[in-house]
Amino acid sequence: MIALDEARLRILSAIHPTGPETVPLAAGWNRVLARPVVARLTQPPADVSAMDGYAVRSADAVAGATLGMIGAAPAGRPFAGEVGAGQAVRIFTGGFVPAGADAILIQENAKAEGASLTVTEGVARGRWIRRRGLDFAEGQELLPAGRRLTARDIGLAAASNHPWLTVHRRPRIGILATGDEIALPGEPLPPGGIVSSNAHALAALIASAGGEGCILPIAPDDAASIAALAGSGGYDLLVTTGGASVGEHDLVQKALGQSTTPGGFALDFWKIAMRPGKPLIWGKLGAMPVLGLPGNPVSALVCAVVFLLPALARMQGQPEDAPPTIRAIAGTDLPENDQRADHLRATLTPATEGGWIATPASRQDSSMLAVLASADGLILRAPFAPALAKGGAVQVIPLASLGV
């Protein structure tokens, strides 16, 4: 048995980012940049007005003065001439400040009558002008490689004139569920059988992290079938999930060991000091990393949160090495922990003084998928953590905000 942190480091050290892919801007949301977005233009492209009003020379625009209006500068239609002494140009938000003008007199501070403008309140030099490049300048890096793109980022990439983006190709993850006793939802269920839930839950988890899950046909509990499916190839990583039958991990290991894939199977480790989850295979089948998850649905999903989510982030060029956590306050006393890192299914409720109260579900049985689904997060309990009184601080992986 190895420690959870060591296991994760060994997994992540074997992960490589996927290559770059060019996608339309409109398909870029939630993808991860493989190359930075560098501004192709300067925004605003010239000094522009921040208000509706009049472009003036501030020295002329003193209270009581009358100016002659010589034109207009709406956004997108710059005024070609120059504002001379005693002159003004009607201007609107976003309009280019014409040559000669050095301030914007807002319309509330002037009275226009035909071509004549009377200043009711003076204006200081530079007032209500947004300078060229205030938002960004051509050549400036706006979004770094490794950034997962938000809606705001898409707007910024658009504004800086990028119709295409270079992102990491979505990691393609093969998902192989094994077990004589399992059947897909809606299909005939053998006597004593259970409905397969891991493959689809894992595919959804992979989608939530920007990957693409490919669900392979369920493999029966026989080594040759498992080896054939595992070796079908084309994946950046293969996830297996065993049935709950005897020696399941031996079986998957044995099957991988029999594989005819060039290079064969190289096991790295297969037991982790964690709960739920202990049995977990990590190795390589030829060049393809293989993560063997437990068959128990709760264990499989918790292990996927702890190991697969960071692996998916790394494959997309992100630096994360652990799932994000938040600090919360324990809603009940927590007993001391044994040698296995524990992950308590918990609800999160807002604390009156701010932050969160994390309260473990009363039953932590690892077969209870409904309890996991109704949890808001996982309270992390380190190996040998001492007992913690209600009100003490804990770290929690917030599941729902990850889409998991």
Question: What does residue 278 show for φ and ψ, rounded to 5 degrees?
Answer: -10, -60
Candidates 58-66, 228-236, 257-265, 295-303: pick the segment binding its own copies (CB under 8 A): 295-303
Question: CB of residue 284 vs its own copies: minimum separation in angstroms?
Answer: 26
The stretch among 166-174, 226-234, 289-297, 331-339 that binds its own copies (CB under 8 A) is 289-297
Is residue 161 a contact point for its own copies (CB under 8 A)?
yes
* Residues 377/402, Cβ–Cβ less than 8 Å: no
190 near its own copies, rule: CB under 8 A = yes
Smallest distance, its own copies to C-beta of residue 184, A: 7
Stretch binding its own copies (CB under 8 A), from 44-52, 53-61, 285-293, 331-339: 44-52
User: Strand pairing of 212-215 and 172-177?
Assistant: parallel
CB of 242 to its own copies, least distance (A): 10
The verdict on 275 binding its own copies (CB under 8 A) reads: no
Is residue 42 a contact point for its own copies (CB under 8 A)?
no
Site mask for its own copies (CB under 8 A), range 314-333, x = bound: -------------xx-----
**Residue 276 in contact with its own copies, rule: CB under 8 A:** no
- If one asks whether residue 62 binds its own copies (CB under 8 A), the answer comes out as no
Which position among 191, 234, 262, 319 is part of the footprint of its own copies (CB under 8 A)?
Answer: 191
In the complex, the smallest distance separating the C-beta of residue 5 from its own copies, rounded to whole angstroms, is 20
179 in contact with its own copies (CB under 8 A)? yes
Comparing CA positions, the residue from 119, 110, 134 lying closest to residue 49 is 134
Examine residue 144 and tell whether it contacts its own copies (CB under 8 A).
no
Rg, Å, the chain Cα set: 31
Per rule CB under 8 A, is residue 83 in the interface with its own copies? no
Is residue 54 a contact point for its own copies (CB under 8 A)?
Answer: no
Is residue 43 at the binding interface for its own copies, with CB under 8 A as the rule?
yes
Member of 157, 173, 313, 388 binding its own copies (CB under 8 A): 157
Extract the tokens encoding 313: 């982030």
With binding defined as CB under 8 A, does residue 369 bind its own copies?
yes
Name which position in 12, 14, 23, 41 contacts its own copies (CB under 8 A): 41
Q: Which is nearer to its own copies, 70 or 91 (CB)?
A: 91
Q: Which is nearer to its own copies, 216 or 372 (CB)?
A: 372
Complex with its own copies: residue 267 or 371, whichever CB lies closer: 371
Residue in 8, 57, 130, 284 binding its own copies, rule: CB under 8 A:
130
* Of 226, 207, 376, residue with least CA distance to 295: 226
Q: Which is nearer to its own copies, 259 or 296 (CB)?
A: 296
**Chosen residue from 22, 63, 77, 390 binding its own copies by CB under 8 A:** 77
- Is residue 287 a contact residue for its own copies (CB under 8 A)? no
